[in-house]
Copies of this chain bind each other. A is one copy, B any other.
Amino acid sequence: MNFKLNEGIEILERTPRTLEGFLAGLSAGWLEGDEGEGTWNAVGVVEHLIEGEKHNWIPRLKMILHDGESRVFPVFNRFSHVEEPSSKSIEEKLAEFASLRSDSVKELKALIVDQDHSLEATGLHPAFGEVSARELISTWVVHDLTHISQIVRVFSNRYREDVGPWKEYLGVLKRTEPS
């Protein structure tokens, strides 16, 4: 086990600026490119991250700390951003995500007052059953990373043929898992 709260927070705090550096001002060719029908483009990933700040991470952490295993988490709708498309620019969406994430990190720091106790508190996941605050926060961190990785993969695949024989050297082009 490697999780440390302060290190996890370092990643959570950085994701908005990582994505801002990566995505702000890009052409539609990058932002709107996906991996085929039913797959997400970079804009959709940012929308999904916004939904997570609103409805997933902090709300579930609060349930663990306040309700324990007396209530099952509501199911998080991973497709809500697909069902309610937004017309905001990518820069506006990145700013919204940054603002929500900043608030989330403040709440996280306020909620975990006694690490030894709070991180081992457990709640009930609808599919997995018992899960701990430590597992939830670790997952939040890796969830950020998995979606950065997804955008990188989508972008890389746009140039899958363009790289010619170098394809052999480029690990990112060998990944096919939908994440």
Interface residues of A (CB under 8 A from B): 1-4, 6-8, 10-11, 14, 17-22, 25-27, 29-30, 33, 125, 128-129, 131-132, 134-135, 138-139, 141-143, 145-146, 148-150, 152-153, 155-156, 158-159, 161-166, 169-175, 177-179
A163 vs B128: C-alpha distance in the bound complex, in angstroms? 12
Instruction: Count chain B CB atoms within 10 A of each CB in A3, A33, A149 and give the residue with the most.
Output: A149
B142 touches A159 (CB 8 A): yes
Instruction: Count chain B CB atoms within 10 A of each CB in A2, A26, A30 and give the residue with the most.
Output: A2
A135 touches B166 (CB 8 A): yes
Our pick among B14, B125, B143, B175 for the contact of A21 (Cβ within 8 Å) is B14
**Which B residues are in CB contact (< 8 Å) with A179?**
170-172, 174
A30 vs B129: C-alpha distance in the bound complex, in angstroms? 30
A15 vs B46: C-alpha distance in the bound complex, in angstroms? 18
**Least distance between A148 CB and chain B CB atoms (Å):** 5
**Least distance between A90 CB and chain B CB atoms (Å):** 13
**Least distance between A23 CB and chain B CB atoms (Å):** 8
Instruction: Count chain B CB atoms within 10 A of each CB in A20, A33, A162 and give the residue with the most.
Output: A162
**Which B residues are in CB contact (< 8 Å) with A22?**
14, 17-18, 21, 148
Supply 27 A–B pairs (Cβ within 8 Å), ascending by A.
Answer: A1-B161, A1-B162, A2-B158, A2-B159, A3-B159, A4-B29, A8-B159, A10-B25, A10-B30, A17-B22, A20-B21, A128-B165, A135-B165, A135-B166, A139-B170, A142-B170, A142-B173, A145-B152, A145-B155, A145-B156, A146-B156, A148-B152, A149-B149, A149-B153, A171-B177, A174-B177, A175-B177
